[in-house]
Chains A and B, each alone.
Chain A
Amino acid sequence: MSSILVLVGLLVLAYLGSILVGGRAIRGYGLPSGAEWVLLGVVLGPHLLGVVERSTLALLEPVAQVALAWLALVIGVDYGFVGQRRISLRRLFAGVVLALGSGTGVAAAFAVYAQTFTGLRGHDLMVTCIGVGAVSCETTRYAVRWVVERYAAEGPLSSLVADMSEADDVIPLVAITLAFALVPTPGLKLSLPFWGVALSILGAGVLLGALASALLRVEARVTQTWGIVLGAALFGIGLATRLASSALGLLFALGITLSWLAGRRHELRAMLERTEHSVLLPVLVLAGAYVDFGAPSHLVPLVAVVLSARLAVKWTSGALLRLSRGGKRAGPLLGFGLLSSGGVAMGFGLAFAFRFPGEVGQTVLVVAAVVTLFGELVGPTSLRYALGRAGEIEAAPTSSRLGRRTSSRPPPRTA
């Protein structure tokens, strides 16, 4: 298939993504995590129907890498906020710690599986463990937003879950940066330890962010603003790729720095939000097309181990959250409500598949896909149950004239 044709196909998907995810009229339709697009990719990809060939996927790799890094930039710009509201430091810390715990728990379980069933050892094993932990630790904010918006949920638990789903993104991004830095950069003229490479990448992101912020402080025109942000982002991707390191980590650092230093977070967020919608859908489809379920040895035990571990760590996270003021009325299924996974996990899995072609990358991507599909089945329903139990949504939503399901609860008082 011609690469231009596929590029146009991706643009059509971007268009659809923007309409479906961002369009006010039909926001909340489709599956919460976008898992149907992952499935579409799997079906169209070279491992099933073969509509999109392996060679075409290879041609699109740079586009996909830019899209992934762009998502990291958007996450960075928005990090620490839910909409206009700043997440408190305590919740930010809690979100980070829970994500770290979840990732470590699943990675440890995977390590046991890998020692038993696979030939992965040493360096490869460590990279794969980090990857599996990275794609398993987060709760996708898209699913949380979907449930909260669709059922018009409002209250302490909604706010708590939204905060957790936003705060946990930092862990996989740092993990990816470390994992990529573990592999020596070919042709590097400096002798740097892996943490030195990782710090250089994050530092370059901060430096570029600071430079872009300085420019944005003296430049008010919209087109110039776009030139600066897009230029800094692409330049950052180029630098990271040259060092064979993670562009996602660099752009995340760039995004956070921009958000802090430019003094125009709301404007930047508004600019980038629409592109996020456009980028997400093609990423999900491409990631799906890359998934090769035949690549990891012993798929069934892998799925069983990863899902059991994730269920356990998320249930524990939920139990811990129930100790807090916002979560105490949530009921026992709160932890399962945090199981939703989607765009970000698939994106990170795809980044691993690009960087480590073969068993390492494919195992991480397969885990991301499994976690996303399973999370879709359990996460939103459990979250809805928890929110209902906390009294933040009606138990049985009604259907509106357009078919959109909305809560029958009266709107909150604004005064």
Chain B
Amino acid sequence: MSELEASKSVTARLTQVVTLVAVFGLLWLAVRVVPESHGMGQLIGALGFLLLAGTLASELCEIVGLPHLTGYLAAGVVAGPHVLHLIDQRTVERLSIVNTLALALIALAGGAELRVRDLRALVKSLASAMLFQSLIVLAAGTLTFVLLARFMPFAASLSASGVLAVGLLWGVLAVSRSPSATLAILSQTRAQGPVARFTLAFVMASDVVVLVMLAVAMMFARQLLDPASQASYQDFEALGHELLGSASLGTTLGILLMLYLRFVGTELLVVLMALGYGLTEGLHYLRFDPLLTFLIAGFVVENFSDQGRKLLHGVQQTSAIVFVVFFASAGAHLDIPLLRSLWPLALALAATRALATWVAHRMSSRLVSDPPVIRRWGWSGLVSQAGLTLGLSLAIARTFPSFGDPLRSLTIAVVAVNEVLGPVLFKLALDRSGETAPGPGFTPSSEPV
């Protein structure tokens, strides 16, 4: 536990508890007094509520050493449509407007955190881990799915090759990680060290690898589901277009950001918001990947200029608030009834995935003789899953409508488990490996975040 956390007095904690209860009480009263409310006011109120309640809940999580992210999620779950009904389902859906900005900031920060000199030192570890994680988790995920398929009603109508096809897609989903959860934990703990660097670099790089794996898996799945169909390389063409386009646009954006930071450097918040919303819209139109584009832009600024710190500081200041709403709304979005109905399957799939991740990490670490701290804790940051996995499952659901929706429900349930447990595990690992910064850093500034 950090010095600042430890130094927080009982009065401070009591104030936070009382305020959290009061904020919940105020919304509860408002919902009772005016049950029906329409328009954007509800959305704005929900944003404010989640920001306040998430911030307070995360502060209280510090007492027991849990990550802030758990507090954000908990605030969302409790206020959401499945527990206290203070925020209804429609409002939860509309909260996704924050995700656009959040993902852009996450990717920018992720790219800016990747330094060539660090990557060079880790290149062997990363390459080995990427290979082992991709193959072993894919194989374990596919196998587990095939074995558990008879407990899944939607798989009952599928042939053996069909089950294998869906299992393969599930395997790819299992390989995906959560850049947002990784960055949220690193941003909170300000961890510096081999585990933090390894996890960040791996998670960011695996984003690209998973996209390629999904394209390959979808091609095989099509063949397995319908052997008469012709092999199509359209997915690869689209993927190539997406990757190259994103890389070139990301590089250009990085150079522009570099110049802006060098010669202007003010009002970064407004610039980041305009980029987050405006450019993401343009990227969707061009069918480029916003996550990759912003990631590369951040990487370019960090590694080809001396403006990386400035960018990172600006993004971190902004993201500290965006993360709260992003994860609190993710908490409100958690489908508790679905999790309740699918929990045995979800738990089995999540446990197998975590086990495969651990095994793959031990094998790759041994092969390249990773430092002991990476060997011991390097796998812990690879368990979290969140929005990226859900995005991939949505792409699968669109391509394979016959089983896409139930598979997506299953994915949501598994992601719920990983989203809650993964960050706790990662924070624990960073604390245990001694990489967590001694204090969250009080840097008074009048700069808007």
Contact = CB atoms under 8 A, between A and B. Distances in A.
A189 B34 contact: yes
Contacts of B271: 15
A215 B15 contact: yes
Contact of A221 (B26, B45, B440): B440
Count chain B CB atoms within 10 A of each CB in A190, A222, A274 and give the residue with the most.
Answer: A222
Contacts of B270: 11, 14-15, 18, 278
Contacts of A61: 40
Interface residues of A, number: 59
Interface stretch (B198-206, B378-386, B441-449): B441-449
B49 interface: yes
Contacts of B449: 222-223, 226
Interface stretch (B16-24, B351-359, B422-430): B16-24
Nearest to A247: B41
B48 interface: yes
A312 interface: no
A327 B27 CA distance: 49
A207 B37 CA distance: 22
A231 interface: yes
Nearest to B443: A222
Given A189-B35, A214-B15, A221-B442, A235 B23 contact: yes
Interface stretch (B108-116, B316-324, B336-344): B316-324
Interface string A202-243: 001001100100110111111110111011111111111111
B231 interface: no
Contact of A190 (B18, B33, B48): B33
Interface string A170-198: 00000000000000011111100000000
A227 B320 contact: yes
Contacts of B15: 214-215, 217-218
Contacts of B52: 227-228, 231-232, 235
Contact of A242 (B37, B47, B51, B444): B37
Contact of B274 (A12, A65, A187, A271): A12
B260 to A, nearest CB: 11
Count chain B CB atoms within 10 A of each CB in A14, A187, A227, A228 and give the residue with the most.
Answer: A227
Count chain A CB atoms within 10 A of each CB in B33, B56, B442 and give the residue with the most.
Answer: B33
Contacts of B266: 18-19
Interface string B42-70: 11111111111101100100000000000
Contacts of B281: 2, 4-5
B3 interface: no
A224 B22 CA distance: 18
Contacts of A237: 41, 44-45, 48
Describe B's contact surface by its main secondary structure.
helix
B277 interface: yes
Contacts of A187: 34-37
B256 to A, nearest CB: 15
A218 B16 contact: yes
A92 B22 CA distance: 33
A226 B444 CA distance: 11
A303 interface: no
Contacts of A231: 48-53, 55
B378 to A, nearest CB: 29
Contact of A235 (B32, B45, B442): B45
Nearest to A200: B33
A223 B447 CA distance: 10
A161 to B, nearest CB: 27
A7 interface: yes
B33 A189 contact: yes
Contacts of B153: none
B46 A238 contact: yes
Given A207-B26, A221-B440, A270-B446, A238 B277 contact: no
A267 interface: yes
A221 B8 CA distance: 12
A207 B34 CA distance: 19
A99 B47 CA distance: 35
A62 interface: yes
A237 B68 CA distance: 26
B48 A236 contact: yes
Contacts of A235: 23, 26-27, 45, 48-49, 51-52
A8 interface: yes
Interface in B299-357: 317, 320-321, 324
B189 to A, nearest CB: 14
Contact of B11 (A218, A226, A232, A270): A218
Nearest to A188: B34
A241 B274 contact: no
Nearest to B51: A231
B19 A233 contact: no
Nearest to A192: B33
Given A5-B278, A218-B15, A234-B51, A239 B45 contact: yes
A260 B447 CA distance: 22
Contacts of A11: 270, 273-274, 277-278
Contacts of B59: 219, 224
Nearest to B55: A227
A181 to B, nearest CB: 14
B321 A226 contact: yes
A226 B448 contact: yes
A8 B277 contact: yes
Interface string B397-433: 0000000000000000000000000000000000000
Given A187-B37, A214-B19, A270-B446, 7 more contacts: A12-B274, A61-B40, A66-B44, A219-B59, A221-B440, A227-B52, A231-B50
Interface of A: 2, 4-5, 7-8, 11-12, 14-15, 18-19, 61-62, 65-66, 185-190, 204, 207-208, 211, 214-215, 217-224, 226-228, 230-243, 267, 270-271, 273-275, 278
| A-B interface, 9 closest residue pairs, ranked by CB to CB distance from nearest | A238-B45, A241-B41, A234-B48, A235-B48, A231-B51, A231-B52, A62-B40, A218-B12, A8-B278
24 contacts: A2-B281, A11-B277, A61-B40, A187-B35, A188-B34, A189-B33, A214-B19, A220-B444, A222-B442, A224-B59, A227-B55, A230-B48, A231-B53, A234-B49, A235-B49, A235-B51, A237-B41, A238-B49, A239-B26, A241-B39, A242-B30, A242-B41, A274-B446, A278-B270
